[in-house]
Structure 1
Amino acid sequence: MLSLFKRITWADWLILAVLAGAVAYVGLRLEGTLNYTWRWELIPDYVIRYREDRQEWFANLLLQGLIATIRICIYASILAAFFGIILGVARCAENLTVRLLARTYLEVLRNIPPVVIIFIFFFFLSQQLIDALNMNAWAREIARGDNAGVWEFFFGDMRRFPSLVSGVLVLGLFQAAFVGEIVRAGIQSIPKGQFEAARAIGMSRFQEMRYIVMPQALRKVVPPMANQFISLIKDSSIISLISVQELTYKTVELVASTRLIFEAWLTTAAFYFILCFGLSLLFRRLERE
Structure 2
Amino acid sequence: MPSFITKLRWLDWLILVILTGIVGYVVIRVEGTLNYEWRWELIPDYILRYREDRGEWFANLLLQGLFATIRISIYAGILALIFGTVLGIARVSENLTIRLLARTYLELLRNIPPVVIIFIFFFFLSQQLIDALNLNSWSRSIARSDSAPVWEFFFGEMRRFPSLVSGVLVLAMFEAAFVGEIVRAGIQSVPKGQREAARAIGMSRYQEMRFIVMPIALRKVVPPMANQFISLIKDTSIISLISVQELTYKTVELVASTRLIFEAWITTAGFYFVLCFGLSMLFRRLEKSP
1:6 maps to a residue whose letter is T
1:19-168 map, 5 Å: 19-168=19-168
CA shift, 1:194, in A, is 1.1
Aligned partners of 2:132, 2:286: CA distance in 1, in Å?
A: 42
CA shift, 1:5, in A, is 2.4
Aligned partners of 2:265, 2:2: CA distance in 1, in Å?
A: 34
Aligned partners of 1:155, 1:52: CA distance in 2, in Å?
A: 27
Residues 82-108 of structure 1: per-residue CA shift (max 9 Å, x gap): 000000000011000010000000000
CA shift, 1:285, in A, is 0.6
CA shift, 1:242, in A, is 0.3
The 3-state SS of whatever aligns with 1:42 is helix
**Identity percentage of aligned residues:** 81
The 3-state SS of whatever aligns with 2:88 is helix
Q: 1:231 corresponds to which residue?
A: 231
1:235-250 map, 5 Å: 235-250=235-250
Aligned partners of 1:142, 1:22: CA distance in 2, in Å?
A: 51
Aligned partners of 1:73, 1:250: CA distance in 2, in Å?
A: 16
How many residues are aligned here?
289
1:143 maps to a residue whose letter is A
Aligned partners of 2:93, 2:14: CA distance in 1, in Å?
A: 55
1:67 maps to a residue whose letter is F
The 3-state SS of whatever aligns with 1:203 is coil
Residues 28-47 of structure 1: per-residue CA shift (max 9 Å, x gap): 12221111011111111111
CA shift, 1:6, in A, is 2.5
The 3-state SS of whatever aligns with 1:58 is strand
1:273 maps to a residue whose letter is F
Question: TM-score, with normalisation over the residues of structure 2?
Answer: 0.98
Q: 2:280 corresponds to which residue?
A: 280
Q: 2:184 corresponds to which residue?
A: 184
Q: 2:251 corresponds to which residue?
A: 251
The 3-state SS of whatever aligns with 2:221 is helix
2:105 maps to a residue whose letter is Y
Gaps of 5+ in 1: none
Residues 17-62 of structure 1: per-residue CA shift (max 9 Å, x gap): 1221222122212221111011111111111111111010001111
1:168-179 map, 5 Å: 168-179=168-179
Q: 1:6 corresponds to which residue?
A: 6
2:204 maps to a residue whose letter is S
Aligned partners of 1:15, 1:128: CA distance in 2, in Å?
A: 53
CA shift, 1:200, in A, is 1.3
The 3-state SS of whatever aligns with 1:35 is coil
